[in-house]
Amino acid sequence: MTERVEDASSPAGDAPLLEVTGLAAGYGGIEVLHGVDLAVRAATATTLIGSNGAGKTTLLKTMVGLVRPSRGRVRLRGEDITDWSVQRRTRAGLVLVPEGRRVFAALSVHENLLLGAYGRRRSAVAASADEVYGRFPRLAERRRQPAGTLSGGEQQMLAIGRALMAAPTVMLLDEPSLGLAPKAVAEVTGILTALAGAGTTLVLVEQNASVAFRVASAGYLLDRGRISLAGEVARLRADPQVRAAYLGLGTAERR
Ligand code: ATP
């Protein structure tokens, strides 16, 4: 297969905030990622698209330290963090919003938020909670309600709110639109667009490329553990393979 990778990293002098180089990882001796290079610039939203099983979740997990790479490095602000624990990465601001939201159903909305702020100073936690409630008034209205009683869209909002409680430098989101009703997908897209617009650095894994391309400015296509295409979103959007496989469009059509 011809690789069509172009350099999506930042211009010289503008070092990436988060960078992986030559990253290989897998499970029980089966390699899933075969040498991935990816660079995320500060204050940008970068999307990672790819089919089922391409390795998108594995790549996010390797970046936050839940999966150990067999080769390659992960760097945050130029510092090699490959051997750091998950906790140390979280404290440095690398925060994952996992697939399936993973809120604690029996705990209240507020208790779920506090879990995201583990280890932070009490005054900082209160300020972050105020900020999250200001951003998501529906969570404020439901702050004492068990998280399990929230709708899917509200639970995603809570999962994003919980990540914001950690004061993220980079927020990594795994399929935030998955399994949501169209109205909730639109709402989550709006939330992510607002976060990106406010300068939060996002890495967004999505199978729904139309969501991904609305939020992100740059992106990567992961194909069976390898990056096969990288660049600005306009470039990905114009690619025939992406149009056919991820946008359900023919090559001749224009959106
Ligand atoms: P999806 O969109 O389906 O979530 P993905 O691109 O996120 O796909 P991964 O979840 O990273 O892909 O999975 C990549 C490969 O690794 C798949 O073949 C999957 O079966 C395998 N895999 C994922 N997690 C594990 C695990 N915990 N143990 C063993 N194999 C795993």
What pLDDT, on the 0 to 100 scale, is given for residue 99?
A: 87
Whether 111 maps to a domain, the answer reads no
Whether 83 maps to a domain, the answer reads yes
How high is the mean pLDDT in each 10-residue block of the chain (255 residues)? 42 77 95 96 94 93 96 96 94 90 91 87 86 92 94 92 92 92 90 90 91 93 93 91 74 46
Distance 140 CA to ligand 1 centre (A): 35
Whether 79 maps to a domain, the answer reads yes
Whether 119 maps to a domain, the answer reads no
Residue 231: which of 219, 240, 221 has the closest Cα?
219
Distance CA 211, CA 189 (A): 6
Please tell me the residue having the least CA distance from ligand 1 atom 21: 53
Residue 71 belongs to a domain with what CATH number?
Answer: 3.40.50.300
Whether 204 maps to a domain, the answer reads yes
What pLDDT, on the 0 to 100 scale, is given for residue 209?
A: 87
Q: Supply the range of the domain harboring residue 232.
A: 18-103+169-246
What pLDDT, on the 0 to 100 scale, is given for residue 8?
A: 44
HSE, side-chain direction, 13 A CA sphere, residue 200: 24
Residue 52: which of 246, 254, 228 has the closest Cα?
246
User: What's the structural domain count of the chain?
Assistant: 1
Distance 221 CA to ligand 1 centre (A): 16
Strand 218-223: give its sheet, edge to edge. 94-97, 170-174, 201-205, 45-49, 218-223, 226-232
Whether 151 maps to a domain, the answer reads no
What pLDDT, on the 0 to 100 scale, is given for residue 56?
A: 95
Whether 4 maps to a domain, the answer reads no
Q: Would you say the CB of residue 56 lies under 6 angstroms from ligand 1?
A: yes
Q: Would you say the CB of residue 50 lies under 6 angstroms from ligand 1?
A: yes
Whether 253 maps to a domain, the answer reads no
**Could you give the C-alpha distances from 15 to 21, 42, 65, 86, 96, in angstroms and in order?**
14, 9, 22, 23, 22
